[in-house]
Amino acid sequence: MRQLTALDAQFLHVETATTAAHVAGLAILDSADGSVTRDALADLLLARLHLSPALSLRVAEVPLGLDHPYWVSDLDFDIDNHLFETTLPLPGDDWQLAETVAEIHARRLDRAHPLWEMHLINGLENGRVAVYTKVHHAAIDGVSGAETLAALLDLTPDGHLRSRDRAVSTSRTRPSSRTTTALRTTT
């Protein structure tokens, strides 16, 4: 359990019904062979969550708001609360992708869970898919967010997994060996 800094707490408090305080990134991937699927992405994320412990922590408010909130382990972590899938209608062009990402980005993150989401967006032209990731600014800043995304997706050609330093408590565990190669090719 770790208390949020004043700055990180401010990022939580600045949010309103129309103002979100998350950072985000979009990766366009080649999936002409169909290897980038929601199940493949779930396997990969669950195998690599240990690379960014912040992704398994949720916010715990202090009663009556008398102090800054705390980060606590989400003992009921479920990848289904974080990983979503949608498919663009034909023709799946960049304009449709931009509209979809804008809609997803406008929604605030659910504070009952760790403050991040990943969206697999299927149906792009030429066999491509998009992976849109958003993380609350209280949990991660833009630079460390980019580093985290790179570690989770491992965009290297050979896809070396680092060995797990600690176990990640999940309510839904998947075998990690099924599809670790699914997200290695970018366009």
Return the beta strands (E) in the chain as ranges: 2-3, 22-30, 57-60, 70-73, 83-87, 116-122, 128-136
Residue with the two structure tokens 């994320």: 45
Query: Which element (helix H / strand E) includes 22?
Result: strand 22-30
- Look at strands 2-3 and 70-73 and give their pairing: antiparallel
Which is catalytic among the residues 82, 119, 136, 137? 137
Dihedrals φ, ψ of 43, to 5°?
A: -60, -45
Can 137 be counted among the known catalytic residues?
yes
* β-pair partners for 128: 30
Residue with the two structure tokens 């990766």: 27
Which residues carry out catalysis?
A: 137
